[in-house]
Structure 1
Amino acid sequence: MNPLSRIRNFSIIAHIDHGKSTLADCLIQTCGAISEREMTQQVMDTMDIEKERGITIKAQSVRLSYQYQNETYILNLIDTPGHVDFSYEVSRSLASCEGALLVVDASQGVEAQTIANVYIALENNLEILPVLNKIDLPAANPERVIEEIEQTIGLECNQPLCVSAKTRLGIRELLERIIMQVPPPKGDPNAPTKALIYDSWFDNYLGALALVRVKEGAIKKGQRILVMGSNKNHEVLGLLYPHPIKQQQTEEIACGEIGIVILGLKSVTDIAVGDTMTDFKNPTKEAISGFEPAKPFVFAGIYPIETDKFEDLRDALDKLKLNDSSLTYEPETSIALGFGFRIGFLGLLHMEVIKERLEREFDLSLIATAPTVVYRITQTDGSTINIQNPSELPPEQKIAKIEEPYVKATIIVPSEFLGNIITLLNHRRGIQEKMEYLHETRVLLEYLIPTNEIVMDFYDKLKSCTKGYASFDYEPYEYREGDLVKLDVRVAGEIVDALSIIVPKSKSYDRGKELVVAMKEIIPRQLFEVAIQASIGNKIIARETVKSMGKNVTAKCYGGDITRKRKLLEKQKEGKKRMKSIGKVNLPQEAFLAVLKID
Structure 2
Amino acid sequence: MNTPLSHIRNFSIVAHIDHGKSTLADRLIQSTDLVVRRDMKEQMLDAMDIERERGITIKANTVRLDYTAENGEQYVLNLIDTPGHVDFAYEVSRSMRAVEGSLLVVDSTQGVEAQTLANVYQAIDANHEIVPVLNKIDLPASDCDRVAEQIEDVIGIDASDAIRVSAKTGVGIKETLEAIVHRLPAPRGVEDAPLKAMLVDSWYDSYLGVVVLVRIMDGRMKKGDQIRMMQTGARYGVDRIGVFRPAMENVDSLGPGEIGFITASIKQVRDTKVGDTITHEKKGTDTALPGFKPSVPVVFCGLFPVDSAQFEDLRDAIEKLALNDASFSYEMETSAALGFGFRCGFLGLLHLEVIRDRIEREYDIELITTAPSVIYHVHMKDGTKIDLHNPADMPDPSNVDFVEEPRIKATILVPDEFLGDVLKLCQDRRGLQEDLTYVGGRAMAVYDLPLNEVVFDFYDRLKSVTKGYASFDYQLMGYRQDNLVKMSILVNDEPVDALSMMVHRDRAEMRGRSMCEKLKDLIPRHMFKIPVQAAIGGKVIARETIAALRKDVTAKCYGGDATRKRKLLDKQKAGKKKMRQFGKVDIPQEAFISALKMDS
Provide the TM-score with structure 2 as the length reference.
0.97
Instruction: Determine helix, strand or coil for the equivalent of 2:387.
Output: strand
Aligned-partner Cα distance in 2 for 1:264–1:551 = 71
Moved more, 203-212 or 568-577: 568-577
CA contact (8 A) 1:520 1:546 kept: yes
Aligned-partner Cα distance in 1 for 2:287–2:417 = 53
| One-letter code aligned to 1:39 | M
Moved more, 534-543 or 29-38: 29-38
Partner of 1:340: 341
Return structure 1 stretches of 4+ with deviation > 3 angstroms.
553-571
* Aligned positions of 1:186-225 closer than 5 A: 186-225=188-227
Partner of 1:459: 459
Partner of 1:493: 493
* Aligned positions of 1:249-328 closer than 5 A: 249-328=250-329
Instruction: Determine helix, strand or coil for the equivalent of 1:376.
Output: strand
Partner of 1:91: 93
Displacement of 1:401: 1.0
CA contact (8 A) 2:276 2:291 kept: no
Displacement of 1:400: 1.0
CA contact (8 A) 1:89 1:198 kept: no
| One-letter code aligned to 1:375 | Y
Partner of 1:82: 84
| One-letter code aligned to 2:407 | Y
Aligned-partner Cα distance in 1 for 2:40–2:424 = 47
Moved more, 547-556 or 520-529: 547-556
Q: Which blocks of at least 5 consecutive residues in structure 1 are unaligned?
A: none
Out of 89, 114, 117, the position equivalent to 2:116 is 114
| One-letter code aligned to 1:533 | Q
Instruction: Please give the per-residue CA displacement for 1:324-354, whole angstroms capped at 9, x wherever unaligned.
Output: 1111111111111111111110111101111
Instruction: Determine helix, strand or coil for the equivalent of 1:591.
Output: helix
Distance 1:201 1:556, change over 3 A: farther
Aligned-partner Cα distance in 1 for 2:311–2:260 = 38
2:37 paired with 1:61: no
Displacement of 1:363: 1.1
CA contact (8 A) 1:511 1:598 kept: no
Aligned-partner Cα distance in 1 for 2:307–2:133 = 51
| One-letter code aligned to 2:83 | P
Aligned-partner Cα distance in 1 for 2:256–2:436 = 46
* Aligned positions of 1:44-59 closer than 5 A: 44-59=45-60
CA contact (8 A) 1:298 1:348 kept: yes
Displacement of 1:547: 1.0
Instruction: Determine helix, strand or coil for the equivalent of 1:265.
Output: coil
Aligned-partner Cα distance in 2 for 1:231–1:267 = 15
CA contact (8 A) 1:405 1:477 kept: yes
Instruction: Determine helix, strand or coil for the equivalent of 1:410.
Output: strand
Aligned-partner Cα distance in 2 for 1:523–1:422 = 36
Q: Compute the RMSD of aligned alpha carbons.
A: 1.3
Aligned-partner Cα distance in 1 for 2:320–2:296 = 20
Aligned-partner Cα distance in 2 for 1:135–1:4 = 34
CA contact (8 A) 1:515 1:598 kept: no
CA contact (8 A) 2:148 2:160 kept: no
| One-letter code aligned to 1:9 | N
Instruction: Determine helix, strand or coil for the equivalent of 1:247.
Output: strand
Partner of 2:553: 553
| One-letter code aligned to 2:409 | K
| One-letter code aligned to 2:401 | A
| One-letter code aligned to 1:576 | K
CA contact (8 A) 1:209 1:260 kept: yes
Instruction: Determine helix, strand or coil for the equivalent of 1:512.
Output: helix
Aligned-partner Cα distance in 2 for 1:537–1:119 = 45
Partner of 1:248: 249
Partner of 2:573: 573
Displacement of 1:556: 5.2
Out of 225, 228, 240, the position equivalent to 1:238 is 240
Displacement of 1:388: 1.0
Provide the TM-score with structure 1 as the length reference.
0.98
Partner of 1:403: 404
State the identity %: 54
Aligned-partner Cα distance in 2 for 1:558–1:251 = 100
2:447 paired with 1:447: yes
Q: Which blocks of at least 5 consecutive residues in structure 2 are unaligned?
A: none
Instruction: Please give the per-residue CA displacement for 1:124-178, whole angstroms capped at 9, x wherever unaligned.
Output: 1111000000011100011110111000000011211000000100001100110
**How many residues were matched structurally?**
597
Instruction: Please give the per-residue CA displacement for 1:211-267, whole angstroms capped at 9, x wherever unaligned.
Output: 1111111211111111122211111110121133x3211111111111111122221
Partner of 1:414: 415
Instruction: Please give the per-residue CA displacement for 1:369-393, whole angstroms capped at 9, x wherever unaligned.
Output: 1111111111111111111111221
Instruction: Please give the per-residue CA displacement for 1:10-50, whole angstroms capped at 9, x wherever unaligned.
Output: 00000001011111111111111111111111111111111
Partner of 1:350: 351
Partner of 2:163: 161
